[in-house]
Structure 1
Amino acid sequence: MLLPRGALLVMLDVCFVLLLWGSSAVVDGSLGRWIAIRRARWSRSYRLQLSAAMLGFFIAPASIFALWAWYRLQGDDRATRELLVRETLRVAAAEQERRPLGAAPSSTGAPLFLYNDGVLREASNPLLEALAPLGRLLPVEFSDEELENDDTFVSRRMSVGRVRALVGFRLLSRPGAVNRPGATIGVLSTPARGNEFALDDRREDLGILVLFATMLGALAAIWSSGIAARALARPVGALREAALDIAAGRPAPTLGTAPATEFAPVYQAFTRMADDLQTSRSALEAAQRRTEAVLQNVASGVVALLRDGDIILANPRAGALLGAEVRRAPAMLSQLPARLSALVAQCTAFLARDDDEEAFGLLLNGRQLQARLTRLPTGAVLTVDDITELASAQRVLAWGEMARQVAHEIKNPLTPIRLGVQHLRRAYRDRRGDFGEILDRNVSRVLEEIDHLDEIARAFSRYGTAPSERAPGVPVNVAAVVHDVVALEKLGDHAEPGQRVRWEVVAPDDASMFALAQRDELREVLINVLENARLAGATAVAVALRPSETAVVIDVADNGSGIAPDVLPHVFEPHFSTRTSGSGLGLAISRRLIEGWGGTIGVTSAPGQGTVVHITLVRTAGMSEDAAEAGRR
């Protein structure tokens, strides 16, 4: 038993050293940090779970067996001792019939004590009688009434010195006088022999052996769980390495030796997946080669971008249009020349937003380019087209259309002027008596048509003004302009009382609402909108002002005839009018002016239900009109 005891002592020393280390680690906090770092890993560790399961399956039966063996040995120990003590007392009682207790030593060699009337009377050895290790008095639980005859035997555990010993008691009677009055000699007792205490050592050795076996079993469970975990992790690690190779674009490696039977379906599924991925990758590469071959000959420049600025596809036309090398490379977008900084900024901003599409123009090397960005799941596609010739052709076409419209608009007032002049010449030749009246009437008509021509000329001039030449918006009191224009419309309404238009302004209590505009041009825009409402047969026109933190909205609603759905999309086109007498430039000019100030204008309408014009201007802090005029100068 030296080996188990020595091993347990070594384990105890190791545990003591670990306890000292843990105490120092707890003091400086490193143990808590170490446990906190590994807690999440331990909670998901397959090896730890397997070790705990194996420990549980081993320690539980071992503990049950140890307890059973302990109690079984204890019971066998007591039964053996009782049997030895009983036999010792039986032999001693038989010998007592032939000779007194102290006459000669007992053949059993056990110490014997004779009690009579509860007092020690005699012992097998004078020294024992003098020492009385069991006591001079018989314990009360071993009274004569408890021992009825010679066959009655009682045992109790008593303290004999410093040792707990099993002591047996037997009634001793005179020969042939059993159960007769005065036949009882006394109570004969003897403790278990000293060599019987070796049973305690056996029990202790058994406990040490069981504890040693338990410790060995625990270590074996931890070691075997590590082996099992590594055996299970080996095929998983092979699958992981293969998956990383596939993810990096490398060919799928072989998985080595045949896996365990349990992993065979997983290996087969992984191999099939790798083959499918390889097939898909080959098909994708073939499709990419076809796409690149098609893009080699298209007239547009095409560049595919990732979100981080990597260029993954670019055709030669893109480099030719941009005048720079555009190739597939990481972070290639940021490596483009500085003269393409505007393009780089547009692409970077688009990639940072969530817009689906964006179009913008570029001017490079005297060429006009049209660029368009289209959103993709992983980035965007940039297409670049050279529209220099197209823009030139469009300008020529636009000027031709403008010339045709100018000729058409001028021709209309020239006809009544020509007729009026011809009428005057005939009247003069004919010496008409009412020549003065004819002259006055025709001159008035000619002057009206000249005013019409002047209006047409100013309208065409304003519509054709370049955006850079227009005056920028300055803070204007929108509420004041609206009230002024509505008051002017009320003064100019000369219809019959029952046919007059009911003008109404709906505005918040705050009469000052400043927005970016030009006061005179805003007046013209509002006059044009209100006149359109009046000429549409409206009998009620409401102008509502709705301010917000960033904008001032003007809603002009009338109850006129409305606009047909097929006509509504064209109301802002130049030279389009729903009336035969209009030039068709009013709303087109209004739209250009408002958009030049950073605002918007829109129309909603339905036939027979009236029309609503929505004007949105950028709100700003107020300033005096003099300051605004100074700013314009």
Structure 2
Amino acid sequence: MNRPARWIWIVALVAGIGAALVLAFVLSLSTAGGGFYERHFVWLFWVNAAVAALLVLVIGVAAVRLVLRLKRGKFGSRLLIKLAGIFALVGVLPGLVIYAVSYQFVSRSIDAWFDVKVAGALDAGLALGKTTLDALQADVAGKARLAAERLGDSRQPSPLVLERLREQTGVREIALLNHSGQILATAGVAPGSSPPERPPTTLLRQARSLGVASQIEGLDDEALSASDGAGGAPRLRALALLPDASIRLSPGDDRFLMVVQPLPRKLAVDALAVQAAHGEYQQRALARDSLSRMYIGTLTLALILAVFGAVLLAILLGNQLARPLLLLADGMRQVAAGDLKPKPVFASGDELGGLTRSFADMTAQLADAREQVQRGVDQLEGARTRLQTILDTLTAGVIVFDREGCIDTVNPGATRILGLSVAAWRGRHLGELPELEGFARSVEQRYEQLADRSELGGDHWQDAFELARPEGVTLTLLVRGAPLPGEQRLMVFDDITEVVSAQRSQAWAEVARRLAHEIKNPLTPIQLSAERLQHRLESKLEGSDQALLLRSVATIVAQVDAMQRLVNEFRDYARLPAAQMKPLDLNALANEVLALYGQAHDRGQLVVRLTEPLPRILGDATQIRQVIHNLVQNALDAVSERADGRVEIGTARSLGDNGELRAVRLFVQDNGPGFPDKVLKRAFEPYVTTKAKGTGLGLAVVKKIADEHHARLRAVNMHLDDAPESPVTGARVSLSFSLLAPAPNPETDGGPATASGDATQVL
């Protein structure tokens, strides 16, 4: 046993012996009566207080040590305090029960030393006397009120009337008083006797406020020991306010009727005797209270000693029980912090020692399992990193949906293709994006169809969708979908807009080449044959026949010329030469082309807004002139039927977010009817036109030239107040050239290149 344990056992033993001695002392003196306690009450009280203070001090020191241990953060302090509290509670509760029983026993035993019946009889007698006096006082007050009511009916309050009232009420004396209590008339006063005394002022105030008031006078030892005179005998006095105002001498002059009735002397003597006996009995009971307090104080001291011993034993037993628990709790804390090193074992053969050994074995197994899990996590993280790298580098868009159909994973390719920050919508449905609502419904239908035919062996689906963007661009997406484990869904899509456009352009180029080859050859013989027929037959025919011949030949020649022009346009579209990239001034090229539209410019139908200066671009001058010409001509054709038709052509700089020059933009806009929706989606495809006599190759050629120059081509309808649901106010076509030429060096380049000498070749 260590030193603290021995010290605790010693103190507990001393406390137990002290409690036993105190109880033996109390029992030995319990039969000696209360005199000893009464004589030595003061010093016994202070001895008990000193012993209790000493015990409280020891317990306080132990509590302070536990609190300081807790504040220093020493591990296990809370557990020690809890165990000490539990064991102390186990010791204190029985002690409190015994204390309560002993308290009741001592109290009842001391009460039994006194005659309870006598105390009850005295109390009952005192209550009876008080009740009798109250009844007599109430009776005299009632008689005074009755006499006042009868006197109020009489108009002449003479002594005869007062005597009659005295006889009717059966009182000893009756008197009429004014508002200050002065006696005006009396009845029933014995001859030679002094008149009744004036009532006290307090009694007058009570009678004035309540209507009637009464009191008992002369009920004390001095009055009873005096002579039987009127002034010394006990009596009952009552005052009643007269209700009838007719007997008042003046307004506000109240009158009172006073009734005096003697109190039986025997009743007064008995009442004073009962009161004196009751007071003496109470004084004698004070010794009983001091004796009871002494016994209770001794019991309290014994309880404190018992609690002290219980607390010390609680600390000792709690320490012995807490040591393996603290060892186990410290090991758990280390494991919770991630420390899986070998843990110490408590050397004992009981269940707690076995628990620490089992915990040490479990910790070793957890360490091995964590190493295996860490290796698996490292492998999984490596695989995930590789997969994420692959997804980030994919040009195709990838979106993974969770089991609720919400967006879970998005790669940068999806954001780039859709032009939307889809990653910001993780945890939400794809259809919640207003721009992708229809696309999301179509995709959901494909997944439902795949689920319906999954029993037939279908494990994925593939389809092409057209997605309209707000800026007027229509994307063609090739989408592939498949289910994933865990009820997830995978969607992979590519932007095949350029591929589809290129395929269509290539197909149309092949069609144009074959049509030009097949149609061009017979056109010249047809025209020559028609002209030869006219030459041979014109002179032989007359009148209507000759006119019919001329009209027919003119029709054949005109249609052959139209077919020839169509064939030439198809040939030009199919055989568009490769662009020869050179530094060009876009404003200079625009001015060269616009010189051909001087008449439209003079009428105010064509407005030019060129930004100066513009950086040079890399391009083919011939092809860009053709682009400007086609766009301006299409715009003028769109407003030809409007009196207020207006076409605007301009150039501008396109700046990035940081203010850096990003591209040079050319735009042509008009206030015509705009593009129909079905035409806007395929405006740059061959043979798509809104003109009655057009071939639909103008914008197709512009698209092909834009692709050659890596320029971004856009066609949109303009709306009133820029609201998509508002009416269309015109159309706008723009090209953004991102291939910019380096700034010219006047010393080596000899000035900016404009290629103005080639203007006549295109126009």
TM-score > 0.5 by shorter chain: no
How high is the TM-score relative to the length of structure 2?
0.33
Which structure has greater helix proportion? 2
> Quick one: higher RCO (CA 8 Å, sep 6+), 1 or 2?
2
Query: Which of the pair has more CA radius of gyration?
Result: 2
